[in-house]
Structure 1
């Protein structure tokens, strides 16, 4: 029986532009016939990974880059200083053994492409442990004079996945056998109500002009406009615990990955225009549901947009609609979480029916206690 952990978040985001499109406008989406503010799943996954970088051991993490030859060559040189001059060639042989195509990098006019290490044609996600083990194989091959064992190289690619690779997956276009299926799915966050963009016209003062005894003008050195929006948003993510364990191969690592993800996903926010708007907030409500049927997003609660009210804000009405929708799903389809926990800033109507009320500092421990018995013991 599979285990899924659903994370539902209602979060109030003030005037901001945390995630913009190619024109600089806050991203949006049509849902329920009205325009909503949207923050892409990629944006929230990126800051989640950044949170991992700041809070987890580097050995538990990975790197996503095209510059794989350069990265591996540095590790080979670190492990064997006498092979430093040959490190780049040895690194190229490793990726050839894995059947990953490499190409010459694009060089600036002032650079020669031949002096730069080759790159993969797409972003490649490797764990730091995999990089270290691939370097070991390259060093052993160079010292013994024997060709790299292609099976051993592939074995490294298929084991020792990092937390971020296990959660968010890896696609290797040259060899699907090296792919890692993502154990985590993150939805695009959307506002629970209709949301329109606004414009902030701004000027930047030229300090020298403004201090001059005889002002030539008002002192503006530049002017422009920034597009922004604000909204109460519904955020959703789900983790397949069984697939996460399959990707990591260890129960303790799986639990660490799950609790780290929940903490990071709840506490982070994309950083677009953050210096301009200082828009960092924490969620108004977080509900974490442990399920053994299937993942269930509650976004349908907001297909009919929340309407403004003179007596209460969007957050309270959004929580109430979420609770009502969850009850309707349970009655119609019989889908009910095994256990659920709720962190709430206020006494929102019906929130207690979503799960056990807990403080955020206790949330991940509670979830861990529930799912731990569902994993095979570590060897």
Structure 2
């Protein structure tokens, strides 16, 4: 029997002014060939990180996650803190020795290049370090009195792997974790994020800039000159959240509901920061469309396989294409969302026909939270007729 699934899809149309938010190794804005035309592209990794940082702003510092090679340094730092603050009050050398023994069951070895770092990045919650310290359970002095070999044997008996495999923070539950050397630590991601693509063809432009030496009064030359590449684009952004997987990762229905709403908010408001000071490119979307499905996710990027030309503006034309694609997928494949919610500031009757009336963004978040909560409680979504006007 297939387990019930719920996918919350986020489709966003967003226009960026001249900018270079995600560049390649030569400094050129990332691009992709799609539909035979060169498109602006922002990698999924860049937007996932931006989303994670936006999401974390609303988290208490102690509840946040971190992805780092410095787990040993962080754990040792915890152990040197006073016991009243959750540490063990150890001297630095003692903390380093106990840290090395605790981390050995995880297969975490130090990098050959930087002795203070582990060999790979590990994504974990800061509270999970506290769980590891709690495993010592008053045995710190006893363990430190042991010879090195016996210390390692004793720490191997502690459920260190379990401490990092349970109690995941929301960020790890959303974006997952893969540890090739220790699959027990793997966490299946609840979120998938597509590469953002411009709905239209783009070309790279160059900004030639100069900087003036304020103290140079001898000549009119520039203190330095340079160029930076940029483009302007209307992007189609897509992400899908598997609520069922998020529930498995978090175990708490209320935490799952809250995290789902906060993910939609964070993904919508997030923005990669490449060349941010040079271009001040932070904008808000033209359109945010949520589709809730119980069968399978559907990326609607095919709406833009033929590039938008912008005869009546790239935003409105792109929104019209998106509405037509959503309707076409439903008619052709019979895969119609259980509910459709949208926020947009574009005037077009066909948008209302397909997406329903525009909701304010706070109302959209409340509505999707209610729907996710109902599904978590009953294992099914309420029918569109039983929800307020605008949900389809």
Give the TM-score, by structure 1 length. 0.91
Distance in 2 between residues matched to 1:84 and 1:335, nearest whole Å: 60
Distance in 1 between residues matched to 2:309 and 2:298, nearest whole Å: 24
359-368 or 146-155, larger mean C-alpha shift: 146-155
For residues 193 and 150 of structure 1, do their structure 2 counterparts lie closer, same or farther at Cα, with a shift above 3 Å needed? farther
Counterpart residue number, 2:84? none
Where in structure 2 are the equivalents of 1:167-182 lying within 5 Å?
167-182=174-189
1:59 Cα offset (Å): 3.6
Counterpart residue number, 1:19? 22
Counterpart residue number, 1:319? 319
Where in structure 2 are the equivalents of 1:88-237 lying within 5 Å?
88-98=96-106, 100-104=107-111, 106-107=113-114, 113=115, 117=116, 119-138=117-136, 140-145=138-143, 147-148=154-155, 150=157, 152-209=159-216, 212=217, 215-216=218-219, 218-237=220-239
Counterpart residue number, 2:291? 289
Distance in 2 between residues matched to 1:60 and 1:345, nearest whole Å: 36
For residues 94 and 356 of structure 1, do their structure 2 counterparts lie closer, same or farther at Cα, with a shift above 3 Å needed? farther
253-262 or 25-34, larger mean C-alpha shift: 253-262
Structure 1: gaps spanning 5 or more residues: 108-112
Q: Deviations over 1:165-213 (max 9, x none)?
A: 111111112111210011000100000000110011111111122xx2x
Q: Deviations over 1:95-151 (max 9, x none)?
A: 2122x23124535xxxxx5xxx3x321110011121110122246442443712546
Where in structure 2 are the equivalents of 1:262-341 lying within 5 Å?
262-309=264-311, 312-341=312-341
Counterpart residue number, 1:86? 94
RMSD: 1.7
Q: Secondary structure at the match of 2:159?
A: helix
For residues 258 and 59 of structure 1, do their structure 2 counterparts lie closer, same or farther at Cα, with a shift above 3 Å needed? farther
Distance in 2 between residues matched to 1:316 and 1:351, nearest whole Å: 10
- The answer as to 2:49 corresponding to 1:43 is no
User: Are the equivalent residues in 1 in contact too, given 2:102–2:156 (CA < 8 A)?
Assistant: no
User: Are the equivalent residues in 2 in contact too, given 1:340–1:356 (CA < 8 A)?
Assistant: no
For residues 35 and 130 of structure 1, do their structure 2 counterparts lie closer, same or farther at Cα, with a shift above 3 Å needed? same
Q: Secondary structure at the match of 2:166?
A: coil
1:256 Cα offset (Å): 1.8
Distance in 1 between residues matched to 2:169 and 2:329, nearest whole Å: 36
Distance in 2 between residues matched to 1:134 and 1:331, nearest whole Å: 53
User: Are the equivalent residues in 2 in contact too, given 1:207–1:219 (CA < 8 A)?
Assistant: no
Counterpart residue number, 1:29? 32
Distance in 1 between residues matched to 2:375 and 2:142, nearest whole Å: 45
Q: What count of residue pairs does the alignment treat as equivalent? A: 360
Distance in 1 between residues matched to 2:252 and 2:197, nearest whole Å: 35
Distance in 2 between residues matched to 1:280 and 1:94, nearest whole Å: 44
Counterpart residue number, 1:64? 67
346-355 or 1-10, larger mean C-alpha shift: 346-355
Structure 2: gaps spanning 5 or more residues: 82-86, 144-150, 379-392
User: Are the equivalent residues in 2 in contact too, given 1:4–1:238 (CA < 8 A)?
Assistant: yes
User: Are the equivalent residues in 1 in contact too, given 2:135–2:158 (CA < 8 A)?
Assistant: no
Q: Secondary structure at the match of 2:310?
A: coil
Give the TM-score, by structure 2 length. 0.88
Counterpart residue number, 2:78? 75
Q: Secondary structure at the match of 1:24?
A: coil
